[in-house]
């Protein structure tokens, strides 16, 4: 029925064009009429798809196929509409006359074509197969029963062991258990790579990785050059952190100093965050939070945003979100990966996570609410539904990470009464902890993940080399190796959620970390007039006004122009490098006489 309505509109538009002086005005009107009808149908199908995906992520029952069926049907309807040949042809026709349209109309039309490339009607059978394969992959991923010593455990249990345990054997068992899911996903991943490539190739893209990169107005080569530059810029500091970690962890486990870091020694399943290696006295947030109720942590996050001038969350956010761990003995599972959802591109806003009273979750709730308030800000009459997204995908993560980062600085925590304002804090150790999170992440995101997915989609990496390639990249970029030989019966890359269901986009996170420090540097120095290492955003309406000015634009404007307009420059790693510059002196002193095993230059 939706398709018939759209077809009728297209016929009307085709035969209603005027000539002479009225052509330009009529073209704009016709384009707007097309966009209005398309947007109404798009929103309805988007919402139906989001609801089906939500149910599939929050109520996973082994053997129950209803969720999978609903997801597949909803996504097929969405794909049929967005990939319609009529939509593609009419959108292309309007874009031939884009000099007669306004910028926001052009950006909407370009977004329609971009969406169509993921679901083109010309290869509808392939699109259906891809949707079914993605649904099955998600069911396998999120329904997997992780076991240690024959006992079922959650990924949260595993993460807790890797963060806290000093027992190397216990760590190894849990690390290996965390990778078992990859063996069940390998065949599905190979199939998805093929189907995703074939889908977008139908509309002229070389491969799925190139398609995803194009959303930035860049080609694959340009993005990979940007990622390599990012790694090169942080490499001197990462190299010192790597050496520091090798020597300190060898003492912890009473072992010889390894040439490369054994993966199970690190406090994260993928070695992307080492911050748990350092406890900063005077900033023991875990102790302050241990008796707090999880909902209190959510309210803390909301209180922060309201304090800087944002509106309270709608009542429906608390009613519809799934933010807490399942009760003991629940007969179903849920996806525990924290995420924020803009269900209907209007005011149905939700979070999915399993909050516990820890410092990690305190930071995470501020991060996820950063997404939620971004959604809320650009849901306004000036931003049409088709442009209700971040200025680019990295912006969304940057805003979330920025608020999570700000919420962990001592002046902020002291003002909230969570740490003692007069407690002495070793600023070097604090900076070290931050670097073990922010700097350590970049070689993983810009190096391992981006290179691996580039190889998967653009370089036709064969299935029998998936694990080999993954560990080659981990060794090269992270200086990390598996604790034992990991053959091709494994697929350790597929244990990372994004490889399966957020494919070919992990550079978003690398970009977001660069943007995070640019925004933070500007806010600290130009708005708060505070040291970037010790800020308190709480209660600053000026900070809120600055952020809201960026957020409310959605994707109406070019992301580079937004940066230049608000920060005076394009994307740059300099603020991040400046922030961590004092740490280099400390690390070089600590590492004096030690052997560095990573090369001086990447």
Could you tell me the pLDDT band of residue 11, with boundaries at 50, 70 and 90? Answer: very low
In angstroms, rounded to a whole number, what is the distance separating the alpha carbons of residues 344 and 48? 8
Could you tell me the pLDDT band of residue 14, with boundaries at 50, 70 and 90? Answer: very low
Instruction: Please give the DSSP secondary-structure letter assigned to residue 29.
Output: H
What's the number of CA atoms in the CB half-sphere (13 Å) around residue 234?
A: 32
Average pLDDT over residues 310-316: 96
Contact between residue 143 and residue 115 where contact means Cβ atoms under 8 Å apart = no
CA distances to 15, 21, 29, 180 from 18, in Å: 9, 9, 11, 64
In angstroms, rounded to a whole number, what is the distance separating the alpha carbons of residues 168 and 182? 22
The alpha-helical segments, DSSP class H, found in 459-496 are: 466-473
Percent pLDDT > 70 in the chain is 96
Supply angle C-alpha 377, 382, 385, rounded to 5: 75
Average pLDDT over residues 111-115: 97
Q: Quick one: residue 63, left, alpha or beta (phi over 0 = left, psi -120 to 50 = alpha)?
A: left
Residue 382 confidence (pLDDT) above 50: yes
In angstroms, rounded to a whole number, what is the distance separating the alpha carbons of residues 141 and 52? 17
Token reading at 157 = 């249990």
pLDDT digits (tens, 9 = 90+) for 479-501: 999 999 999 999 999 999 999 99
**Sign, CA torsion 124/125/130/136:** positive
Residue 107 confidence (pLDDT) above 80: yes
Residue 285 confidence (pLDDT) above 60: yes
In angstroms, rounded to a whole number, what is the distance separating the alpha carbons of residues 500 and 491? 12
Contact between residue 338 and residue 352 where contact means Cβ atoms under 8 Å apart = yes
Instruction: Please give the DSSP secondary-structure letter assigned to residue 474.
Output: I
**Sign, CA torsion 61/66/72/77:** negative
Token reading at 135 = 């649904």
| pLDDT for res 62 | 86
Average pLDDT over residues 44-52: 98
Average pLDDT of every residue of the chain:
94
Token reading at 145 = 């029963």
Closest CA to 285 of 273, 276, 295: 276
- Determine which of 1-5, 87-91, 346-350 has the lowest per-residue pLDDT on average: 1-5
| pLDDT for res 516 | 97
Percent pLDDT > 90 in the chain is 92
Give φ, ψ of 322 to 5 degrees.
-130, 90
Instruction: Please give the DSSP secondary-structure letter assigned to residue 489.
Output: T
What's the number of CA atoms in the CB half-sphere (13 Å) around residue 573?
A: 20
Query: How many helices (DSSP H) and strands (DSSP E) are in the chain?
Result: 24, 6
Residues pairing with 333 in the sheet: 60
Residue 229 confidence (pLDDT) above 90: yes
Write down the pTM of the prediction: 0.90
Pairing between β-strand 339-342 and β-strand 349-352 as defined by DSSP bridges: antiparallel
Buried b / exposed e along 5-35 (16+ C-beta atoms within 10 A): ebeebbeebeeeeeeeeeeeeebbebbbebb
Closest CA to 466 of 81, 64, 183, 272: 183
| pLDDT for res 98 | 95
The C-alpha torsion from 166 through 293 and 308 to 280, rounded to 10°, is -20
Contact between residue 506 and residue 449 where contact means Cβ atoms under 8 Å apart = yes
Q: Around Cβ 382, how many Cβ atoms within 10 Å?
A: 11
């Amino acid at each position: 029925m939706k398709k018939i309505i759209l077809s009728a509109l297209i016929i009307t538009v085709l035969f209603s064009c005027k000539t002479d002086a009225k052509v330009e005005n009529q073209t704009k009107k016709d384009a707007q009429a097309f966009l209005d009808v398309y947007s109404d149908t798009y929103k309805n199908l988007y919402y139906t798809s989001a609801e089906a995906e939500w149910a599939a992520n929050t109520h996973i029952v082994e053997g129950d196929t209803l969720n999978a069926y609903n997801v597949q049907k909803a996504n097929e309807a969405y794909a049929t509409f967005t990939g319609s040949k009529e939509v593609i042809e009419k959108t292309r026709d309007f874009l031939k006359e884009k000099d007669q349209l306004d910028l926001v109309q052009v950006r909407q039309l370009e977004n329609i074509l971009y969406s169509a490339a993921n679901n083109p009607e010309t290869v509808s059978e392939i699109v259906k197969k891809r949707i079914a394969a993605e649904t099955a992959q998600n069911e396998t991923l999120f329904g997997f029963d992780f076991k240690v010593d024959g006992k079922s455990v959650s990924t949260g249990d595993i993460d807790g062991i890797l963060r806290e345990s000093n027992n190397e054997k216990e760590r190894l068992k849990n690390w290996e258990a965390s990778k078992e899911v990859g063996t069940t996903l390998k065949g599905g991943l190979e199939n998805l790579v093929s189907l995703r490539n074939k889908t977008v190739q139908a509309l002229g893209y070389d491969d799925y990785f190139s398609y995803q990169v194009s959303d930035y107005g860049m080609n694959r080569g340009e993005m990979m050059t940007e990622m390599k530059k990012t790694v090169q810029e942080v490499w001197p500091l990462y190299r010192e952190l790597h050496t520091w970690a090798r020597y300190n962890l060898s003492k912890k486990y009473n072992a010889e100093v390894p040439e490369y870091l054994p993966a199970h020694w690190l406090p994260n399943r993928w070695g992307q965050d080492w911050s748990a290696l350092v406890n900063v006295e005077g900033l023991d947030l875990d102790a302050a939070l241990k008796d707090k109720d999880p909902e209190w942590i959510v309210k803390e996050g909301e209180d922060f945003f309201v304090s800087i001038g944002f509106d309270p969350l709608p009542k429906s956010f608390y009613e519809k979100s799934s933010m807490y761990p399942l009760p003991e003995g629940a007969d179903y599972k849920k996806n525990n990966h924290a995420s924020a959802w803009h269900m209907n591109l209007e005011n149905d806003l939700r979070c999915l996570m399993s909050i516990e009273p820890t410092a990690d979750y305190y930071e995470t709730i501020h991060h996820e609410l950063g997404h939620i308030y971004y959604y809320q800000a650009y849901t306004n009459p000036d931003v049409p539904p088709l442009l209700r997204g971040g200025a680019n995908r990295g912006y969304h993560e940057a805003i979330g990470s920025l608020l999570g980062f700000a919420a962990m600085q001592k002046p902020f925590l002291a003002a909230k009464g969570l740490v003692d304002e007069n407690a002495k804090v070793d600023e070097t150790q604090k900076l070290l902890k931050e670097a073990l999170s922010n700097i350590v992440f970049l070689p993983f995101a810009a190096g391992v993940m981006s290179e691996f997915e580039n190889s998967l989609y653009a370089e036709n990496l064969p299935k029998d080399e998936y694990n080999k390639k993954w560990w080659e990249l981990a060794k090269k970029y992270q200086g990390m190796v598996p604790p034992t030989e990991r053959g091709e019966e494994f697929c350790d890359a597929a244990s990372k959620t994004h490889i399966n269901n957020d494919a070919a986009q992990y550079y978003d996170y690398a970009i977001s970390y660069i943007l995070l420090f640019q925004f933070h540097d500007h806010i600290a120095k130009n708005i708060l007039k505070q040291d970037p290492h010790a800020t308190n955003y709480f209660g600053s309406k000026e900070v809120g006004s600055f952020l809201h000015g960026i957020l409310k634009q959605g994707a109406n404007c070019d992301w580079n122009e937004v940066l230049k307009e608000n920060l005076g420059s394009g994307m740059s790693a300099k603020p991040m490098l400046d922030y961590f510059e004092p740490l280099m002196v400390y690390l070089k002193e600590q590492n004096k006489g030690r052997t560095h095993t990573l090369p001086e230059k990447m």
